[in-house]
Amino acid sequence: MKADKKKRKRKNRWKGAAAVILTAYTAITMLSTFVIPNHTITMAEAQQSLSAQNEENSVSAQSSSESASTASKSDSTAAASDGSTSESTDAEAVITENSYTSDDLKITITEKTVDNTEVYIADIQTDDPSLLMAGLADDTFGRNVSETTSSIAESCGAILAINGDYYGFRDTGYVMRNGYLYRDTASDDADQEDLVIYDDGTMDIVKESDVTAEELEENRAIQIYSFGPGLVEDGEIAVDASDEVGKAMTSNPRTAIGMISEGHYVMVVSDGRTSESEGLTLEQLAGVMQDLGCTEAYNLDGGGSSTMYFNGEVVNNPTTNGNKISERKVSDIVYIAES
Amino acid sequence: MMIVYFLISALCLLFSRIYGVFSHGVRSPYMTFLCLFPLLVGAVPHLLLSVKKFLPLPKQLSVNLYNTGAASLTLSSAMRGIFEIAGTGSVFQIWLMIAGAAFCVSGVFVYIIQSGSAAKRTACSGDQGKEVHYEKKGETQPMV
């Protein structure tokens, strides 16, 4: 009788300890995955280290006279273009409810209905591809560091912005922003496709299993987004209904970016998950991008993250937590600014 | 214990179906087949032990280790499903899955060792009734 009691006690003690440990472990895992921010490096620090690296490179280049003259020329060109850009922005930008026009930049926002879905299209034409930039929440790279698209856009002084790839929700996948390589760990998914934007403004879609982040950096990449998939490649639709696995396979709010030609881009956001706007499948979104004339187009983070910001206002109706219309916090944005 | 595992399997099935309703069409096999962990890892072995009467019943330590493993694997599968549907991942979840598998394996290992030594003792005494007496002393754990 006594032995039975003792045994039952011991059994309950094990059960209790296992339950407490598993509950605590689950709580820690969930919090670290979804809630606790882990700041790694600020954008300012990243840019500082990037310019220090560039300085080092230019010093070593100066040892050969030929390289030195090239470097000084490009420096003076950059300085000159910086000055002229800010001047022209202040002096000549014409802003309306759905357009922005300056010497270097023309943005037009249009809205149309496709497959029972409201689609917002930003057409961007610029001579200066460096106006297409990336912003991070809290100006910091790290896991679970997030802000709304409009809030990041405001702090960056953006004219136009869309949500990015929500890199901070994952531990793998290349992340390069404004020339700085924040993460060079390839995704476990061999089919992971990335969008690469080079310093001349051209876009390309690559597979992480085919190329390292360092190789892309050497090839003068300045932005790498790791979400996908690629929607249009060389003018052809690159997804079909059967490809829509993993991140989303049904009608949803979507965000995409594409290139029509050098200096001519489109950013597209669709509403979804509401009675007014059903949402698009990836195949439908690819069709929209192809119809716009994109040679390359890429799917960014969608769902509740899908947000377009223009001239201080959120243009679309982002859905967070089901059907509630409000902006979700995201890790990063793609934006256009003149400064 | 077998009934408990069947109940947990039913709860897991219900949980994965409800979660599926709110996952906007995104699926994960770890969530879809969540109920298979308590069913195959938990209920089936216990069912075998209760049906195959010639198998010796496991002792407390072996049961504790195995049940902890089954719980860890089920929890880990649920986490993996949630993470895959959200589009993220966590190294903590992978460690939990490894720990769960290790607990299950060690539970089986302890069971084999203990059954072996109990069989040896029975063979040495030459008395088949010894095992029954041994169980009656409360040193074995009834499973059902």
Considering chain A, what is the average pLDDT of its residues?
Answer: 87
Considering chain B, what is the average pLDDT of its residues?
Answer: 83
Segment A274-292 mean pLDDT: 92
Separation between Cα atoms, residue B72 and residue B78, nearest integer Å:
10
pLDDT for position B2:
83
Q: Quick check: B140 contacting A, CB < 8 Å? A: no
pLDDT for position A7:
67
pLDDT for position A245:
46
The chain A residue lying nearest B69, using CA atoms, is: A18
pLDDT tier, A249 (very low <50, low <70, confident <90, very high otherwise): low
What residues 5-64 of chain B have any CB closer than 8 A to a CB of chain A? 22, 24-27, 60, 64
Q: Residue A247: is its pLDDT beyond 70?
A: no
Torsion from C-alpha of A332, A302, B27, A244, nearest 10 degrees: -120
The chain B residue lying nearest A1, using CA atoms, is: B138
Q: How far is B132 from chain A (nearest CA, A)?
A: 17
Residue A276 burial (10 A CB sphere; 0-12, 13-18, 19+):
exposed
Q: Residue B79: is its pLDDT beyond 70?
A: yes
**What percent of chain B is modeled with pLDDT above 70?**
83
Q: Which of B22, B24, B89 minimises the CB distance to A252?
A: B24
pLDDT in tens, A90-110: 557 899 999 999 999 999 999
Segment A173-182 mean pLDDT: 96
CB contact under 8 A, B90 and A29: yes
Q: Residue A311: is its pLDDT beyond 90?
A: yes
Segment B70-86 mean pLDDT: 94
> CA triplet A77, A335, A277: central angle to 5 degrees?
155
User: How many other β-carbons are positioned within 10 Å of the β-carbon of residue A20?
Assistant: 10
**What percent of chain A is modeled with pLDDT above 70?**
85
Residue A200 burial (10 A CB sphere; 0-12, 13-18, 19+):
exposed
The chain B residue lying nearest A273, using CA atoms, is: B24
- CA B11 to chain CA centroid, nearest Å: 16
CB contact under 8 A, A22 and B83: no
Segment A114-127 mean pLDDT: 95
Separation between Cα atoms, residue B59 and residue B49, nearest integer Å:
12
Collect all residues of chain A within an 8 Å Cβ-Cβ radius of residue B83. 33
pLDDT in tens, A151-161: 999 999 999 99
Collect all residues of chain A within an 8 Å Cβ-Cβ radius of residue B64. 11, 14-15, 18
Do B11 and B71 touch, CB atoms closer than 8 A? Answer: no
Q: Residue A228: is its pLDDT beyond 80?
A: yes
Structural tokens at position B97: 């899955």
Q: Which residue has the higher pLDDT, A311 or B136?
A: A311
Residue (of A243, A244, A298, A295) closest to A268 by Cα position: A298
Q: Quick check: B144 contacting A, CB < 8 Å? A: no
Chain A residues near any Cβ of chain B (below 8 Å): 3-4, 7, 10-11, 14-15, 18, 22, 25-26, 28-30, 32-34, 166, 169-172, 188, 245-252, 273, 303, 322
pLDDT in tens, B94-137: 999 999 999 999 999 999 998 877 767 766 665 544 444 334 44
Output Rg (C-alpha) for chain B, integer angstroms. 19
CB contact under 8 A, A26 and B91: no
Asked if residue A129 has a cis previous peptide bond (ω within 30° of 0), the answer is: no
Separation between Cα atoms, residue B63 and residue B111, nearest integer Å:
8
Q: Which of B64, B89, B92 minimises the CB distance to A14?
A: B64
For residue B11, CA distances in Å to A31, A127, B140 come to 24, 60, 29
Q: Which residue has the higher pLDDT, A189 or A337?
A: A337
SS3 A217: helix
Q: Which of B67, B75, B88 minimises the CB distance to A169?
A: B88
pLDDT for position A261:
95
